Chains A and B, each alone.
Chain A
Amino acid sequence: MGKDLYKQRLLILGMMIFFSIILIRLFNIQILDTQYKVNAENNALRYIAKYPVRGRILDRNGRVLVDNAYSYDIIVTPYDVKPFDTLALCRIFDLNPEDVHATFAEYRRYRSRIGFQSKTFLKQVTQDQYSHFLEMSHHFPGFTAVPRTIRSYPYNAGGNLLGYVSEVDASYLKKHPEYQSGDYAGKTGLELVCEEQLRGEKGYNIFLRNVHNRIQDSYSNGEFDKAAVPGEDVITTIDAELQQYGEYLMQNKVGSIVAIEPTTGEILSMVSSPGIHVSILAEIGKHYGKISSDPLKPMFNRAVMSPQPPGSVFKLVNALIGLEDGVVKTTSKHGCYDGFRASGIRVGCHTHPTPLDFRQSIMMSCNAYYCELFRDILHNPAHDSIQAAFTHWREMVQSFGFGKKLGSDFPAEQAGYVPNTALYNRTYGKRGWSALSVISLSIGQGELGCTPLHLANLGAILANRGHYFIPHIIKPENPEDLDPKYREAIHTLINPVHFEPVIEGMHMAVNSPPGSGATGRLAATKDLDVCGKTGTAQNPHGDDHSVFVCFAPKDNPRIAVAVYMENAGAGGSWAAPTAGLMVEKYLNDTISKSKKWIEDRIVEANLLNKVKAQK
């Protein structure tokens, strides 16, 4: 046999081997394997999706913020539908008969594409409608009710924070091919951030159906069914009671409250008002139009998305920079005669005793003191130009986290704004500006933008005497799973020894006796040693914003709070008492009788008109 013939035989042999493999496989699946032994009676498999239970969202103490409740979808298999009493169906579900006819006309139009598949006819019908339908279901062949879980909210807390879940739409499916039409996904807030953890994994039941498309039996006794894997719970750092209380206080006001545990950076509560009420979260679709057209923008999470001038609370930062740079001593006194005047500039101040020392300047929030101090920082001979001095100041300010995203795990966090020399060089010319041109920065006005989260973080820095942990809201069950970036203390550029006098000033601002001129007295709470600083931020939109930053207790602080109420007025009269109540609620669990009147006053106040008036 020649070599060529040998090769030809070898190729034929190779082909025989491959054909034999195919035949063996065919023999296997057609004759031996029972898995494919589906006879003509029940011949087709039908997959019915089993939706997993979505993970719950818990607060720091294990209280459930978001739970699941049952709801029912009505499914229809157009192929199985026999003529039925449309009006009866409409009565059960409160539908318009014309809509039903239109829907069925559509099913008929696409009947070849739909084939034997089922379509969702109605979503999330009420319990009453469901039970009514069950009684009548034999009148409606082809219709079935499928249970499905929806979100429920045991606490009226954290609508904006928690976010909502809704059915995926076409554009979402394009971006996330792992989802299928009919699935639900978290769209905002924590539901979005923790989607992967919460969603679980879908399963399916496999059923056999016969030639007439009747579901006959479970396929192979469910051997190939796949159970749905429930989603994992997410534990947050939120304190449900505190969050609920914060929202209670903020009703009918625009603004936000952020509370942080200083020793860890855990966010205890994050209130944005007006917010989305949890009762509409589960069915956000129905209310979406109303929410999105509300001029007060309830979807907007002010706590992290709304940078505003911080007002006088920013004096704390300048005070610390002054001490660090050595331009002010704790004994330095400055006089104040109704404000600060220099080369044609005047910054007004309120009435208070004079002259003040360093601690008193914080206690009474003297504008003149800080104008002088700020001028000394920028005109410090250690720097050879105003630009160098300003850049130095800016670095110091940024070390507090201002002007940048803190890096929290919450979505849509805004960076805020700290101006740089380029801005002023552009505005005034390179040699055209001095500390006096930017003097409003001394009292936290001007080109500064800080979110309430930034301000709460400032409170945490003061509480910790010089460092902070990146604020975060998700708390892994096992502390070691926490991202290392949240465990690492971030230090400011200020020497920790300078914090004590500032904190004493804050303590005086809250706890001084009546008539002493202290600005934050309404935040005072017995035995809690609240240290705080008021702010009254002027703005072009109307009344001043009321601001307050505090922490408590003075030693070993456990909570830092920032309150920002838009257009409410003086910091001492609105933000300070609100913050004081938050501190008391968190540390004492209840509000003392002596402060009940403050609580009532805050809760009953409706400051929305002040905001709306200028819109």
Chain B
Amino acid sequence: MRQSELSYRHIDWVIVICYLLLTFFGWINIYASSFSEEASGMLNLGTKAGMQFIWISISIGVACALIFFINPRWYLSTTWLLYLGVLILLVGVLVFGKEVNGSKSWFSLGSVSFQPSELSKITTSLGLATVMSHYNFKINRWHDLLKVLLILGIPAGLIILEPEMGTILVYVGFLFVLYREGLTGWIIFFLGLVILLFILTLKFSPFVSMLVLLGIFGLLRGGQARQPLICIPGYLIAIVLLAFLPRLITLPWLAPLAEMGSDLLMALLLSAFCLYWIVRLIRRKEKKMKWFVGGLIASLILIFCVEFIFDKVLQPHHQARIENLLGIRDDPHGIGYNVNQSMIAIGSGGFSGKGFLEGTQTKFKFVPEQSTDFIFCTVGEEWGFLGSFGLLAVFFILITRLLITAERQKEASIRIYGYCVAAIFFMHILINIGMTIGLMPVIGIPLPLISYGGSSLLAFTVLLFMYVRMDLERWRR
């Protein structure tokens, strides 16, 4: 079948303009962050800004090629070949890779180095788009879900081996795509609950965590019950009473209980509660509550595994970063140094910033990795709240535009790919900016299109412009 004419008139200018704005803004911030009196000039090839200019030119060239010369069918039909190729690279980097900051994730070819995990985001997106757009695909069927989990799990597993925490977290973002394609939202809810309980247990105690868990369960149960107005206050009263448990067991005539400690006591009470629900579920058939009770039991087990996971599974530097983030251990000289300096830089920017090249925090190299992972410090310091707001707004427009156009696609595969691109951008922005302002643990991950680094810029360009090209397909007459 001969394809109808492609009309470049309909190219999505919003995305293209956002892209150009971001890369340009990134470039001037890299210039500012690596500015020194000796080597000035934005196009000086000896400087980072000069190098970035070259990479931006290359990227724009690649973007044009993707739009004008490369037919999406080429990469959509060879998705599995590309996917396999990247897997080989991921294995290869474990063997031949260069170790940087304890993770083996970089290939180094002369002066150029790149991370295969950046490519894996693209091929995984393509893989998801191909599999999930199959006419017979239903995500809530076990074997279909298994396929999806394999596509995500194999590269993710290899990346864990490197280990490269940032990319793993980006992979978590694919959950949003699965959600759009029919996966139950409870998965995301449960994931949020797990993170919440993890933080509460670490920061306070298993006891507090269990109280909160009971509260959430109470609310869910209330929403489910026939008489929520009786049910919810009932749970609330129970929680308030239980909150006095640690105080209560200090009473002399409850001394034998005190030896067990409030954590264990609470766990026993909740176990009894779970048992009650299990018996009740066997007797009556309350289908939805089955999941709630299952979740409750799983969460309970999780709370008591937190310490083990934290001590045994996480590496010491991750432990330190999380402890610092949660304020469990304050160490502004050691682990907390980066974040503290980064927040000072951003905070000193004030409302309108110190102005281009006027930033002193970043210029004096107090902030490490200032042109790559901590580039947002320069934005915050020199452009202030206004600049940061503007940058976030452009990102917001870009992602929203991706979601809106994706929803309009005729072909499911393009829609899914669009969602993947949006999810990847979103996770990068959230983690990177979150880290510089102390909302997330320090994880090395670039700010898309802004951070210094040719291979990262190129990867995001390819990711984005493959979608821009695919998007044109819906205008075929």
Contacts and interface: CB of A to CB of B under 8 A. Distances in A.
Q: Which of A21, A38, A43, A47 has the most CB of B within 10 A?
A: A43
B24 interface: no
Nearest to A3: B182
A47 B337 CA distance: 10
A26 B180 contact: no
A363 B262 CA distance: 67
A30 B345 CA distance: 9
B346 A36 contact: yes
B237 to A, nearest CB: 30
Nearest to B360: A43
Interface string A1-26: 00011011011101110110111011
Interface string A30-53: 110101111110011101000000
A37 B348 contact: yes
Interface stretch (B15-23, B58-66, B266-274, B380-388): B380-388
Contacts of A11: 176, 179-180, 403
Contact of B347 (A19, A30, A115): A30
Given A36-B348, A38-B344, A27 B361 contact: no
A30 B434 contact: no
Interface size class of B (residues with CB under 8 A): 35 or more
B180 A8 contact: yes
A44 B439 CA distance: 22
B25 interface: no
Interface stretch (B100-108, B306-314, B350-358, B465-473): B350-358
B205 to A, nearest CB: 25
A418 B366 CA distance: 63
Interface in A155-199: none
B421 interface: no
Interface in A568-598: none
A35 B403 contact: no
**Chain A facing B: main interface SS:** helix
A12 B403 contact: yes
A29 B392 contact: no
B210 interface: no
A26 B388 contact: yes
B347 A33 contact: yes
B150 interface: no
B430 interface: yes
B437 A12 contact: no
Contacts of A18: 426, 430
Interface string B51-90: 0000000000000000000000000000000000000000
B343 interface: yes
Interface string B398-432: 01100110010000000000000000001000100
B218 interface: no
A35 B347 CA distance: 8
Given A18-B430, A19-B392, A43-B361, A30 B344 contact: no
A30 B332 contact: no
Given A5-B407, A15-B426, A19-B396, A30 B364 contact: no
A7 B179 contact: yes
A45 B343 CA distance: 12
Contacts of A43: 344, 348, 360-361
B407 A8 contact: yes
B319 to A, nearest CB: 13
A305 to B, nearest CB: 35
B365 interface: yes
Given A40-B354, A40-B360, A8 B403 contact: yes
A382 interface: no
B333 interface: yes
Contacts of B396: 15-16, 19
Contacts, number: 103
A204 interface: yes
A36 B344 contact: yes
Interface string A197-209: 0000000101000
Interface in B423-470: 426, 430, 433-434, 437-439
A29 B346 CA distance: 8
Given A19-B396, A29-B437, A35-B347, A224 B332 contact: yes
A116 interface: yes
Contacts of B344: 36, 38, 43-45
A102 interface: no
Interface string B88-113: 00000000000000000000000000
A22 B430 CA distance: 8
Q: Which of A11, A39, A206 has the most CB of B within 10 A?
A: A11
Contact of B385 (A8, A30, A116): A30
Contact of B349 (A14, A30, A35): A30
B389 interface: yes
A33 B349 CA distance: 12
Interface string B307-343: 0000000000000000000000000110000001101
Interface in A218-265: 224
A342 interface: no
Contacts of B366: 44
A12 B404 CA distance: 10
B351 A31 contact: yes
A8 B430 CA distance: 19
Nearest to B393: A19
B400 A30 contact: no
Contacts of B426: 15, 18
B347 A23 contact: no
B427 to A, nearest CB: 10
Contacts of A345: none
B360 A211 contact: yes
Contacts of A15: 396, 399-400, 426
Given A4-B407, A21-B439, A26 B360 contact: no
A32 to B, nearest CB: 10
A58 B11 CA distance: 83
A107 B439 CA distance: 38
Contacts of B439: 21-22, 25
A25 B437 contact: yes
A29 B180 contact: no
A37 B350 contact: yes
Given A4-B407, A5-B407, A19-B392, A30 B346 contact: yes
Nearest to A47: B333
A18 B426 CA distance: 10
B385 A40 contact: no
Interface in A521-570: none
A36 B385 CA distance: 13
Contacts of B332: 47, 206, 224
A44 B367 CA distance: 10
A29 to B, nearest CB: 4
B60 to A, nearest CB: 27
Nearest to B355: A40
Q: Which of A8, A35, A39 has the most CB of B within 10 A?
A: A8
Contacts of A37: 347-348, 350
Nearest to A16: B396
A115 B343 contact: no
Contact of A44 (B361, B389, B404, B430): B361
Nearest to A49: B333
Contacts of B341: 45
Instruction: Give the 8 A-B residue pairs with the shortest CB-CB distance, closest first.
Output: A36-B347, A29-B347, A30-B385, A38-B348, A43-B360, A47-B333, A25-B437, A8-B407
12 contacts: A5-B407, A14-B176, A15-B400, A26-B388, A26-B437, A29-B437, A30-B385, A36-B346, A44-B361, A45-B341, A47-B332, A204-B333
Given A19-B395, A26-B437, A43-B348, 12 more contacts: A4-B407, A11-B176, A26-B385, A30-B349, A30-B350, A30-B351, A36-B347, A37-B350, A38-B344, A45-B340, A45-B344, A224-B332
Interface of B: 176, 179-180, 185, 332-333, 340-341, 343-344, 346-351, 354, 358, 360-361, 364-366, 380, 384-385, 388-389, 392, 395-396, 399-400, 403-404, 407, 426, 430, 433-434, 437-439
